[in-house]
Amino acid sequence: MTSDPRRPRREVLAQAVVRLRDGGVQSPEHDAAELLAHTLGITRGALPLVDEVAADDHDRFLALIARRAAREPLQHLTGAAGFRHVELQVGPGVFVPRPETELLAGWAIDQAREIADLAGRAPVVVDLCTGSGAIARAVADEVPAAEVHAVELDEAALVWAGRNLAGTGVDLRAGSMDDAFDDLAGTVDVVVCNPPYIPLEAWESVAPEARDHDPHLALFSGDDGLDAIRVLQRRARLLLRPGGVVGAEHADVQGESAPGVFLDAGGWSDVRDHRDLADRPRFLTARLAR
């Protein structure tokens, strides 16, 4: 008589949670459930309907758990990341979009909608440092009338952006934010950017998922973390039409210094900072003087 090779789902998940927690993963229950659902080809909501896990599925699940416990990003293992109302393809070579960035995208979407409604024309939106194309994709998805442009410097990230923006009508270009879109100078309504903003000296404090797997070009930005935001200030000034707006994410310790880049430069009004759902400083916005 041979033993049943199937294992109870609850037991499989419980053991995986312990493994992930021992590895320092911050959300072991969530990640274990996501990986088991991915292994079985079902949604996480359907997991309670699964009583047992077959041996071959269990083996594949354990392999994913081992990689996650070694702090490989969850999204690299599933190949996907949800962002607002869209699902993005992600993997090695591209910055995995964070939930906090959805707030910045939401602000850009609101600005674009307001222009479409009040001005009665297609709003022009530029996404600098687009990475996976997350913000550009969200704007195109939620404001179909918008004319959306995006740029990315890193070659590997550009490939992912191309996949995520294919068929959306977004104008995706290869290049650097500091000289992108000269042809749009003075015509843009909204500039949005999730730039690198981590100080080089903060290397050791960065979570292994980001430090060891996200492109460093998307993470670090000079000694104080503000180099890219300084470039953004200059570029947004050139691209925006008078009264146009710019928004940019920053680190939670940059709630004063990041908006300060725009205040010190002059020529900007309505410079303010916005907090995330955890009440931490998260992104700045400013309006080009008319």
What are 99-142's pLDDT values in tens digits?
Answer: 999 999 999 999 999 999 888 899 999 999 999 999 999 999 99
Closest CA to 218 of 276, 157, 265: 157
CA distance 228 to 46: 43
Cα angle for residues 238, 240, 242 (degrees, 5° grid): 110
Question: Does residue 76 form part of some domain?
Answer: no
Note the pLDDT of residue 92. Answer: 87
Q: What residue numbers bound the domain in which 18 lies?
A: 7-70
Note the pLDDT of residue 95. Answer: 82
Higher pLDDT, 209 or 65: 65
In this structure, are 277 and 171 located in the same domain? yes
In this structure, are 110 and 23 located in the same domain? no
CA distance 35 to 12: 11
Note the pLDDT of residue 215. Answer: 52
Question: Does residue 75 form part of some domain?
Answer: no
In this structure, are 221 and 87 located in the same domain? yes
Question: Does residue 239 form part of some domain?
Answer: yes
* 152 close to 129: Cβ distance less than 8 angstroms: yes
Question: Does residue 169 form part of some domain?
Answer: yes
The answer on pLDDT for 233 being more than 50 is: yes
pLDDT digits (tens, 9 = 90+) for 172-229: 999 999 999 999 999 999 999 998 766 555 444 445 545 544 554 444 445 567 888 9
Q: State the burial class of residue 47 (Cβ atoms within 10 Å of its Cβ: 0-12, 13-18, 19+).
A: middle
Return the exposure string of 119-142: e unless at least 16 CB atoms fall within 10 Å of the residue's CB, then b: eeebbbbbbbbbbbbbbbbbbbbb
Note the pLDDT of residue 200. Answer: 54
* 263 close to 226: Cβ distance less than 8 angstroms: no
- For 84, phi then psi, to 5°, come to 55, -115
CATH code (residue 129): 3.40.50.150
